Structure 1
Amino acid sequence: MTALTRIFSTTAFKLAAIYLTSFTALSVFLFIYISLSTDDLMNKQVVQTVDAEIQGLAEQYAQRGISGLVIGVERRIRSPNSNLYLILDYAGNVIAGNIAYLPEKVLSETDGRIQFVSYTPLGRPGAEQGEGQKKDSAIVRIFELPGNFKFLVGRDLEDQVHLKSLLGDALTLWLVGMVVLAGITWFFLNRRILKRIDNLSMSSRQIMEGDLAGRLDVTGNGDEFDRLASNLNVMLDRIEALMQGLNEVSDNIAHDLKTPLTRMRGRVESALRRGLSAQEGQECLEDTIVEIDELIKTFNALLRIARVEADSTGAKLEPIKLAEIVNDVCELYEPVAEDGGVTFSVCVEAKPVIEGDRELMAQALANLIENALKYGRPIDKDVRPAIKVVLSGKDDQAILSVEDNGAGITEADRERVCNRFVRLDSSRHAPGSGLGLSLIKAVVTLHHGELELTSACGLDDSAEDEQTGLCARIVLPLSKEQRGEGEGNEAWHMAQKKNVDN
């Protein structure tokens, strides 16, 4: 009973029942409609046939009287057809005809109107008695002739009855076949759906038990279950990445922030043990405040990264001109670069419009420039540091890159350096927390773009071959207006060409 209840409560069974009921009702409606329409058409044809026979016999009666009518009826009786004839005298005796029995009530109606009657044909055993015999159906007209003669002309409806029987048998076979087919379809559909749902439930249960690496099965059919499983798997990938990031942040906080906290505690303990002068105590407090400020900056950066990754910064992605952001940020950092002896150049090859947040994009570019200023120093001290900011466009993408001629980052470390608190050995001499690229990557991901770290070959021709530097490239999709087809793309390419020419 539990298994039956479970089966009857499934969506597959309910859908099968709905479809079966709907098709059954439609089939019955079509059968009734076809049957009534066919009956009406055939009745009209029968009436026309009867009227034609009456017309022919009426001409013979008019020419030769009752004897000519009898001769015409007998001649027609001998021809094999479905027509019915009957001539009775004033006493009710049969003069000619092919009807053995007809109810008296029918014979009393002699006004010539169409009547649907039951009769027994002549020649059937026991037909004269009429009682207990199988009756056939017919359409007749009965007239009363001079001399109290009664004249009947009609036509048997056996063809119509046979057609109705065929239609009824066809409907029965159709309904039986439809029920069987619906049952078979429901059986396989129910098994397939229940199996898929059971697999989804089992995978979901494993994930709920803590196995975040588990994924829902995708058969590759492209059906609704595959699309649902694919979307859920993408969601699970995102959840797993966030949980992994949370674990990494927790581990990194525990390891990387433990050192400055321990150092501050040691400084305070040492100050308490020693009798410091007022100036020494002030210096100790100032150093402690500096380290506390650095810790606060680190926590603020972590919080901002988390908010950007969770898309809870309140950022509104709207069309912004990326060239304006590049010009504003570069104008701000150009004096800083000059004071540090860095050659700073800006090249705006296109003026793309993207869907983004102006503040976040400005901060991402500022972080890239600051990283280049801090860590993009050439190995050869005789080589002048150089930074180049380039904004270009290709196809439906805007490309923003910041290049330097420093030592660069090895290919093996380029993916790892985007994680939180990751600092390479070559950069540990400079202040920082290792969160800059993490924030940039979060901002770029929020804008549906990509962050690429490659070598910046050819930035400084005087540099040695091994000093290839680093090229941090942000690739962003254009706004819908510039990403449009036809005239939109043509206008975009024309604008690019104009910018390059200028």
Structure 2
Amino acid sequence: MFSKILSRPKDTAAWRLSIWTTIAFAAGSAIAFGIVYYMVSLGIRERSDQWLVGESETLKEVSDATPRDNLYQRVIEETAQNAAHEIPGEHETEDENRNSVFFLQIDNLGEPLWYGPENSRDRFVEAVRGLQPGSPQTLKIPENVVPYRVVVQDLKSGGTIYLGLSDIGAVELLHRLMRGFFIVWIGMVLLGLMISYLSARRTLLRVETITQTVSRIGSEDLSARLAEAHNADEIARLAQTFNRMLDRIQASVNQLRTVTGAVAHDMKSPVTSIRGKLEVALLEGSAADWREPVAEAVEGLDRLSQFINTTLDLAEAEAGALPLRKEPVDFGALVEQFVDIYTPAFHENHHQVHVQIHEPVTVDVDVSLTNRMLSNLLDNEMAHLPPGCKIDIEVMAREQQAELVIRDDGPGFPAELKAHAFERFVKGKESKGHGLGLAFVDAVVQAHGGNVEIEDTPGGGATIRILMPLVAVSVG
């Protein structure tokens, strides 16, 4: 798998991620250089404009102050030549100065005075026509690659002087800067592409490890786990979360297998018994002889139906889909009614039952489910208590909740079952039930927003405490 990734980088997320990262870096660095280039160019222009304005003022003052005699032209040319030697930047030869700066004075007293590129006076005279005095202006001269920045000054004599600067050195500096940046930029982009690809590939190989581990996990083998790194980055947290999810899935699958096995085992016995009873009935000679085995078969079917219904109700309750038809009920009266029904059975086993309703309490419950819940609680007492035990049942209000307490002095819950008493199919070794009674009680109470607790009775025995939301409390 990894060899395929390395041999086809363009098909990987690492390649696409590195490409986009490199594009973003290249664009960002190019924009940054463009801003720097613009600021440097602007600084050079401002420096050149300041020089032009200052020197043009000097030339104007010299021209206005110098008499128009035979030395006038020489004085002006020498002044322009001196100004050319003071231009921003360094120039080594007179030719470079002459090509970078031009001075032109036009008036009606004679030929224009010119200092600048040789044999170019006429072209410049034609080009400057239309320029107005004021701030520096850009002037493009035919056959000149670099444009000039020109300042125009009017003389008192009626003439006009033009001082222009083509900062070839600065332009060449900017060109060298751009070439250098382009070379460095290409190298940095290629290096960045390589580094980002290697980094992304190294990171995403961990994701590929997760993918391979997931592909090995099947319905029969949920034991595979991801290696968890010691760091706390996103992929490490993903691996940890995935392992926790696998733990929950494995626990659910194991529980499903346990439940399936328990259901199959618990259904096999009544089905076999019912089949045996019906076969006996078929072998009997008369219809009267069929009555007892058929009745026993019907009783077995009732128990099987109850088992199936309880299992389905538990599944719906755990999924939060148990339908409830609530109505206000006097909880104490409902408990007393059920205790009265079970009293003969309790007396038959020599149990002493004491019921105490401290105060009337009203709860909003599904009466049918609540009846089944109470029936399961009392059946549980009947099934697991030895003869001659004492059972105390109390109903009271406590902190906006109706509380039902069933306390006995029997053997209590085995220590190994106490923490799992409300789980499905959990039962003692000598229990003849299906292990659904207390699980159903807990599911019904939870569906009504209540809670069930198990405690040890002081002196021996077990206490089951049920708390249900209270609708109304009235003190009699």
TM-score (norm. length: structure 2): 0.71
Report the Cα offset of residue 379 of structure 1. 6.0
Unaligned stretches of 5+ in structure 1? 120-130, 458-464, 479-494
Distance 1:22 1:192, change over 3 A: closer
In 1, the alpha carbon distance for the partners of 2:186 and 2:448 equals 58
The residue type equivalent to 2:216 in the other structure is Q
The 10-residue stretch of structure 1 (175-184 or 230-239) with the greater mean CA deviation from structure 2: 230-239
**Which residue is 1:293 aligned to?**
302
Q: 1:359 to 1:168 in 2, by over 3 A?
A: farther
Determine the C-alpha separation between the residues in 2 that align with 1:376 and 1:170: 90
CA distance in 2, matches of 1:470, 1:427: 19
**1:408 partner SS:** coil
Tell whether the 8 Å contact from 2:51 to 2:87 is kept in structure 1 after alignment: no
1:376 to 364, 376, 381: 381
Conserved 8 A contact 1:115-1:139: yes
For 1:266, the equivalent position in structure 2 comes to 276
Name 1:282's counterpart in structure 2. Answer: 291
Q: Distance in 2 between matches of 1:351 and 1:270?
A: 51
Within 5 Å, which residues of 2 pair with 1:309-348?
309-311=318-320, 313=322, 328-338=330-340, 340=343, 342-345=353-356
Deviates most, 255-264 or 68-77:
68-77
Query: For 2:448 and 2:191, how far apart are their aligned partners in 1?
Result: 55
C-alpha spacing 1:445/1:35, structure 2 compared with 1 (3 Å): farther
What is the correspondence of 1:33-432 to structure 2 with a 5 Å cutoff?
33-36=35-38, 38-40=40-42, 42-65=44-67, 66-67=72-73, 68-76=75-83, 81=88, 84=101, 86=103, 105-111=123-129, 112=131, 114-116=137-139, 138-141=148-151, 152-157=162-167, 158-159=169-170, 161-163=172-174, 165-166=176-177, 169-170=180-181, 172-174=183-185, 176-193=187-204, 195-208=205-218, 210-219=220-229, 221-275=231-285, 278=288, 280-311=289-320, 313=322, 328-338=330-340, 340=343, 342-345=353-356, 359=366, 363=369, 369-376=374-381, 384-388=390-394, 402-405=405-408, 406-425=410-429, 427-428=431-432, 432=433
Q: Is the 8 A contact 2:9 2:15 kept in 1?
A: yes
Q: Residues of 1 paired with 2:282 and 2:152: CA distance?
A: 135
CA contact (8 A) 2:450 2:466 kept: no
Partner of 2:347: none
User: Over residues 336-365 of structure 1, what are the superposed CA-to-partner deviations in whole Å (9 max), with x where a residue is unaligned?
Assistant: 2255263345689x999xxxx9659x84x6
After TM superposition, the structure 1 = structure 2 runs for residues 3-22 of structure 1, keeping only pairs within 5 Å, are: 3=5, 6-22=8-24
In 2 relative to 1, CA 151–16 (structure 1 residues): closer, same or farther, beyond 3 Å? same
The aligned residue for residue 439 of structure 2 is: 438
Cα drift, residue 64 of structure 1: 0.8
Q: CA separation in 2, counterparts of 1:54 and 1:62?
A: 12
SS state of the match for residue 149, structure 2?
A: strand
Shift of 1:240: 3.0
**Displacement, 1:43?**
2.8
For 2:449 and 2:47, how far apart are their aligned partners in 1? 75
2:48–2:165: 8 Å Cα contact kept in structure 1? yes
CA distance in 2, matches of 1:187, 1:346: 76
2:22–2:192 Cα contact (<8 Å) kept: no
Secondary structure of 2:66 counterpart: helix
Change (3 A) 1:77 1:270: closer
Is the CA contact 1:368–1:402 (under 8 Å) kept in the aligned structure 2?
Answer: no
SS at match of 2:217: helix
For residues 151 and 66 of structure 2, what CA distance do their matches in structure 1 show?
Answer: 21
Give yes or no for contact 1:31–1:171 (8 Å, CA) kept in 2: no
Deviation at 1:23, TM superposition (A): 3.4
Separation in structure 1 between the aligned mates of residue 79 and residue 362 of structure 2, nearest angstrom: 104
SS state of the match for residue 164, structure 2?
strand
Q: 1:447 to 1:373 in 2, by over 3 A?
A: closer
**Residue pair 1:252, 1:421 contacting (<8 A) in 2 also:** yes
8 Å contact 1:376–1:404 — kept in the other structure? Answer: no
- Aligned-pair CA distance for 1:235: 4.5
**What letter is aligned with 2:461?**
T
Q: 2:464: which partner in 1?
A: 471
Cα 1:87–1:391, aligned 2, differ >3 Å: closer, same or farther? same
Give deviations 1:259-309, integer Å, cap 9, x for gaps: 33333333333334343562x432332222111101111112222223344
More deviation in 182-191 or 261-270? Answer: 261-270
8 A contact 1:342–1:386 mirrored in 2: yes
Structure 1 vs Structure 2 CA RMSD: 5.0
Mapped contact 1:389–1:402 kept (Cα < 8 A): yes
Report deviation, 1:184. 0.8
Q: CA distance change for structure 1 residues 48 and 450 in 2, over 3 Å: closer, same or farther?
A: farther
1:316-350 CA distance string (max 9 Å, x none): 9xxx9xxx97x6555322222255263345689x9
Q: Percent identity?
A: 21
CA distance in 2, matches of 1:71, 1:250: 112
CA contact (8 A) 1:404 1:471 kept: yes
1:258: how far off?
Answer: 2.6
User: Could you say what secondary structure the match of 2:260 adopts?
Assistant: helix
Bigger mean CA offset, 28-37 vs 298-307: 28-37
Give the 3-state SS of the residue equivalent to 1:139 in structure 2.
strand
Contact 2:412/2:461 (CA < 8 Å) preserved in 1?
yes
**Unaligned segments of structure 2, at least 5 residues:** 90-96, 344-351
Deviation at 1:192, TM superposition (A): 1.8
What is the number of residues matched between the two proteins? 438
Per-residue Cα deviation, 1:3-47 (whole angstroms, up to 9, x for no partner): 467422222322222232233234334433553455355435533
CA deviation map 1:116-157 (0-9, x unaligned): 5689xxxxxxxxxxx9xx98775345789999x996523352
In 2, Cα distance between equivalents of 1:380 and 1:273: 40
Structure 1 residue matching 2:165: 3-state secondary structure: strand
**Is 1:389–1:403's contact at 8 Å kept on the other side of the alignment?**
no
1:28 to 1, 18, 30: 30
